[in-house]
Chains A and B, each alone.
Chain A
């Protein structure tokens, strides 16, 4: 907890309105930028030239059952979200990029050209959420078998259940 406080003390005093022309917010003291899908690559590339050399994490979130989450003004919530965490060695700072990805067209540009290390993480996000990364060199399933149906971390993908049989029970209700 102290790491975020110490690294982003100046930012915590005033709520950042715009970073590289896109809305920004603070989430528990951590700086988050919210580019649209069209500005996504441009913003991440600008952040990379700002010194965020490493992309530590990329993951998806399915906000199907929680549509009313807090977002800065000017950002329309969509079903999916991709959260990218970038790290700067020189500034010892982190920044998070959250992109909204609509249900009707779950595609997003791939970060492979900027950060080759996102290859596995984008594959994982594709595998578990079905978000297609355009420009990815090898977009295949990574954790699940190739013939798996569906994307399990989606909220409408049921959790597996085994029906419990009780002796003498009057059948399923």
Chain B
């Protein structure tokens, strides 16, 4: 930690940039000074009239840079190898999904939103389903809620494991990538068994889930849960205690709790600064209030803390999944409300009315009462929110997804300022941006 601070102080003394010292301005103040966010003037003549800063260079990292997790471009002003200012540039993956959502019915909606965050798609489906149900004011059966929790926690494990894998690769621990993908594959195989798809499941829908859990699901889940703790201990051996890993992560990309609050940062980044804020515990949804688990909190707000939080959150998720497997009740897996739920497949063969009803629900959809609602869940990356406005028709009037990666990327200039270019790679990775969700 002290090493980074010294470099930045030295740098500010000899640089012509007149950047304020980071130690002098903390918290909210630091966010307002124009020091860390790189802003290029819009007009070309303004650029020319500015005195050219010597010794600094502006480079673009991305959008094809392999360590940017997709198509993130980071504009950076460098002095030698030190990053002075930077700015994340996004939009390369923007496909207008919020506009598309206005053309799809509420039953087709999950197909759309699940493609936003393709690493944790079940959270997207959950937040959309919860928002629709809040507008409809229907109560889903307990089994549906338990299934949602089971799938979400498994998805959280697979997402964090994928992060460990790619983060390891970014920092040179290539073997970690192979291990991480191997673990993730076991969970995706279970998802495929349940929903038919490895990713983009369209499994959690307004009114419940698409299908009941398959036969033998309990054994599959327990096999995953038994395999994971051993693997996590291996990761501890491979990474946590390793001197090179610690050197690359400790004291890198420090952010404070005040900065996080001011910038709206949530999830592991906020928790790494010591703020115990996890929506599963602080504002419980689903049945998380009945669960026994811990919130993992860091202390220094550096890359190592965020690594440790994500690794240990997998252990907490394993605890939750075990409790869910214990508690899974029998019963309906979707709400028995004729307006929302299509008739079962067996009824369609024998009843003309059921066939018409089925056809109408899938072509016209169901009408949702007028109103607007904001629902948030804790995704592996932070607070995932859904603002849903309805005009009383069968399609959302406005669907806005508050993507945690989109907001969390805004702390990038503040975390990599004054650090080395090689550490910028570690910091970008530690934000865990999923560009599909950033650009939507």
Interface residues of A (CB under 8 A from B): 1-4, 6-7, 27-28, 30, 53-57, 59, 61-62, 65-66, 69-70, 83, 85, 89, 92, 94, 96, 113, 115-121, 124, 128, 137-138, 140-145, 152-153, 159
Contact = CB atoms under 8 A, between A and B. Distances in A.
Range class of the B interface residue count: 35 or more
A142 B370 CA distance: 31
B325 interface: no
- Residue among A57, A113, A119 with max Cβ neighbours from chain B (10 Å): A57
Nearest to A113: B32
A109 to B, nearest CB: 16
- Residue among A7, A124, A143 with max Cβ neighbours from chain B (10 Å): A143
Contacts of A89: 261, 275, 277, 282
A121 B407 contact: yes
A28 B135 contact: yes
A57 B400 contact: yes
Nearest to A138: B39
A117 B407 contact: yes
B411 to A, nearest CB: 9
Query: Closest 7 A-B residue pairs measured CB to CB?
Result: A117-B264, A117-B263, A66-B391, A3-B283, A59-B400, A143-B91, A116-B31
B386 to A, nearest CB: 10
B90 A143 contact: yes
Contacts, number: 124
A142 B440 CA distance: 12
A140 B374 CA distance: 27
A30 B385 CA distance: 14
Contacts of B91: 141-145
Nearest to B414: A116
Nearest to A137: B39
Interface stretch (B62-70, B95-103, B356-364): B95-103
B264 A3 contact: no
Nearest to A141: B91
B289 interface: yes
- Residue among A117, A120, A145 with max Cβ neighbours from chain B (10 Å): A117
Contact of B134 (A1, A138, A143): A1
A116 to B, nearest CB: 4
A88 to B, nearest CB: 10
B372 A117 contact: no
A85 B374 CA distance: 8
Contacts of A153: 98-99, 398
Contacts of B43: none
B192 to A, nearest CB: 29
A56 B263 contact: no
B274 to A, nearest CB: 12
27 contacts: A3-B284, A6-B284, A54-B261, A56-B266, A56-B385, A56-B407, A57-B374, A57-B385, A59-B387, A59-B402, A66-B397, A69-B391, A70-B371, A83-B387, A85-B402, A89-B277, A92-B282, A113-B32, A116-B31, A116-B32, A117-B263, A120-B407, A140-B42, A143-B94, A143-B439, A144-B94, A153-B398
A53 B374 contact: no
Given A28-B137, A59-B387, A89-B277, A96 B374 contact: yes
A121 B409 CA distance: 12
A30 B262 contact: no
Contacts of B130: 1
